[in-house]
Structure 1
Amino acid sequence: MEFEDKMREFILSFLETQPNQVNLKTVQKLIDYGKNNHYTAPKILNELYKMDQKHEQVLTATLDVDYVDGVKLFSKHAEKWLTPKGSAYLDQLKHLQNKADTMDFPGKTEIYENTDFDGYLSQLTSVSKTLKSQSERLTLQEFALELRHLLTDTKKLDKGALNKFKPFVDRNWTSLSTPMTPILVELSRRFLIENSYDG
């Protein structure tokens, strides 16, 4: 999967988890979150600009990016970031990502690979019904997205890669522990057993 496609999948997956938040504050959150994946602010803004309503029509909003005067966003009171075309495009990118991921783990069929990780993650996100607030549910979606990248990425697992989610996990451990077990087992297997796993 191309670097640009991977970054776009990250951007759109994040924005999809931010309903009724079509504003610059969300763009700032996206940029902050993107730093964890080594995506710089100019790169993210450039992709947002290319995908906006005026250009590729993947996003409902239009961006005016000026590196001197800053960024302006025109949303026309949109309730979600992705247009129907954008949602279809994100599905296509996720499919590409899943296809690319299966090549990283020889010996397993594509069906097994997809079912495995998708199953783990959908079990985890189904916990959202038990969470008390919309903010907690959004954090769960961000957490699941980060876990998906760790499960499907070939980069070396870093100590403390999920540190920023510690308060969230601590608060919701009772609900999260059961669906997280297979995910933690898979990540620890790579970290503790496959010492050559460093991409």
Structure 2
Amino acid sequence: MPDALATAVTNTNPNSCVNVQTDRLCKPWQVSPAGVAFTEAWEQFRAHLYDNDGAGGGGNTTIGFGHFVHTGPISGATSEALFLNGITVAQAHELMRHDLTDPQRIVNQRIHIPLYQYEYDALVDFVYNLRHHNQGLLNLVNTGHYDRVPAKFMEYTLAGGAHPSGLVKRRRAEANLFRDGNYDASH
């Protein structure tokens, strides 16, 4: 049974009106500073280009807090030119805020029920990390079965045919954030 947004007692008058309130937020949502910090903690700052992106072993060229530069290893591609001298932490924060725009749009478009800020932040981190194949989790959220969502996060731990411990820890942290509002991203 989905969480009740509210309960009310009305009279038998069919024209009566009931005002319902919830602590969950309605749209438009925006990721909180704590949500940004949560995602940045999982991505870890790197001032210079790198192409070993960890769990999936995808080897894409990246910089800052996981900012995607281009597919594949560092190659001298034109898209790398802007980052040849590296970036500062402040520049990496700005790139992250920009990179979270699309995941926020996706969550805002696909979720049709109210969320607490921490539930939204957990979903944004999830979509940021898993841009595709996230429909099952987002569909479950829309059923209103908030209590089932944390377990669903754990179904998304496969990368490169394995279940890397870092990815398992991230999904567990997202689940805890969604369930409890615990922004702990230690790993």
The TM-score normalised by the length of structure 2 is 0.30
Structure with larger RCO (C-alpha < 8 A, sep 6+):
2
Structure number with the higher helix fraction is 1
Max Rg structure: 2
The TM-score normalised by the length of structure 1 is 0.29
